[in-house]
Structure 1
Amino acid sequence: MGDPAGVGPELAAAAWALRDAERLPPFFVVGSARVVEEAARRRGITAPVCAIKTPDEVAECFDGALPVLGLAELPYTPGEPDDAGASLALDALATATGLVRSGAASALVTGPIAKSRLARVGFDHPGQTEFVAQACGISPENAVMMLAGPSLKVVPITVHVSLRAVPDMLTTELIRSRAAIAASGLSRDYGIASPRLAVAGLNPHAGEDGRMGSEDHDIVAPAVAALRAAGIDAFGPLPPDTMFHAEAREGYDVAICMYHDQALIPMKALDFDAGVNVTLGLPIIRTSPDHGTAFGIAGSAKARVGPTIAALRMAGECAARRALA
């Protein structure tokens, strides 16, 4: 559910209300039935809640009500996060992750949280990605973030760090390992037999033979060579400013980018309402809407449901592919 004071509860209800029109797979919410029901009412949508105790009950009630596996009941206070809500968000994340790991559910879609609030109740991870990775026995360094939309898929090699720190963090092995995880994830969960990886350069014009920095020649190019030696269809480093127009995008399946904004600016420009945050490298499927808690508009019916629908749909599609593998 994410933080109960954020937009997660109302967007889960709004997505359920559009389940038929959007052809969504059956899903259930882990969190608070009271919060979800009141969030739906405040949004002005009809979304009756069905309290469940196990995922086995979802099929029986999903057509007529939104199933909610309740852990605690809190008053609905949109835009007013507190420690009780943070504790519920953390419990919901842990419970939902366990259900997917056990096979009781086929995929995990995480609602937005407030990391500063979670830290007050004992959460010591940078974010939900790292929490889920550790719960799955995976090193956080091997959990790779991909942003995926209808027009573009991107993987940032470095994520939430300052631009000043990026060159010192980049290594040939870091680029190679994360790009290889991305290739494996595209093959396993997206049905792309031989993924094509376009690797962006760090510097303008991909360094222009060292005139604008040596990183592309000394760090990025060897990573591309190592990927190709491993049988992965990777090419680059490419000038970043010519990678994202329509004709260029037809030539690859994912863009491997060197830093956060190099990846997310084109992604959000092209697929702002349909972008999904996907964690690759895990034994489970995990997606998330690509936005935060939006406390400032929670409960006002202004939050767009598109990213939540996209995250649910993509989770279902990936789960279906794994089931057939």
Structure 2
Amino acid sequence: MFKETPPGAGGGGAARPPHARGGYGAQPKQLEEEIARQQLVISQLEAVQQSLGAATPAGVLQSLDETRAAVARLQAELDALQPPPAVDPAEIARLNDEIARQQQVIGQLEAVQQSLGAATPAGVLQSLDEARAAVARLQAELDALTGGAAAAPAPEAAQPPAADASAPTVAAPATDVVDAPEPPAEAAAPATTDASSPTDQTIVAAPAEQPAPATASAGARLIIEESGQEVLLPTDRSEIVIGREDPISGIHPEVDMTPHGGESGGVSRQHARLALVDGQWTITDLNSTNYTRVDGVKLDPNVPMPLKDGARIQLGRVAVTFRL
């Protein structure tokens, strides 16, 4: 009179739909189609049960229960499916920017290595290896996000050394490397041109001592990367502390980063110190909790690092650009 549904056709023994359990490889459409098929089986079995009433065979009732359980299970799997996380364009842009910055550091250090040859200090070679390792790590992160489609060109990333994947730490020789080219170029030229008339030798002597006070800092400023706001540096002192104001502890840094996301961005109360000596700006990390970086290079605490116009400074997670 009727044909019983075999255990493999509807109930708990039914073949599972072709989808991966728990992953998003299981397409919602496949689950929905399987649920619809199982519901059709339920309708047919319920029609048999309604027709036979109490005479319905136990096998039919068992298949009906198993099929209902299968529908409930499939529906739970469908509800639990999570789409893959969307690729954040801001994160891709951040990685590309950081790769570009590290490659700029590599270019500068390679120029120093080419110039000095075998006399290149070990600290410069170590910083070069660390910068290349950082590029390789950042490139791998970018490839993982984009599948390699939006990867930035990274020639140096082809030979990553087996160094620590963390951001490169500046060594003492690295300070000398940047220091050597900078001071002569910036201090000497403006002093002579801005002076008055022909008497070169007498006038150069006076401005040479003037940069030690903060006279040259009139245009020095920090540009907050996130908002574009400019923070002018005080012109009445040659040392300026950057941090977060804390009236309870009596800490009042000259540059307070609280209005610029300092607290959430991990800026310490006394994070770093800017100093102007003989026309050269430097920055020193004051043993901050979340570190200070200049153009991607992590500073050692209490070791001054020369700054040039356009340098990108990271105070914890807050980034600023130094301008003269």
| TM-score for both structures, normalised by structure 2 | 0.21
Bigger Rg, structure 1 or 2: 2
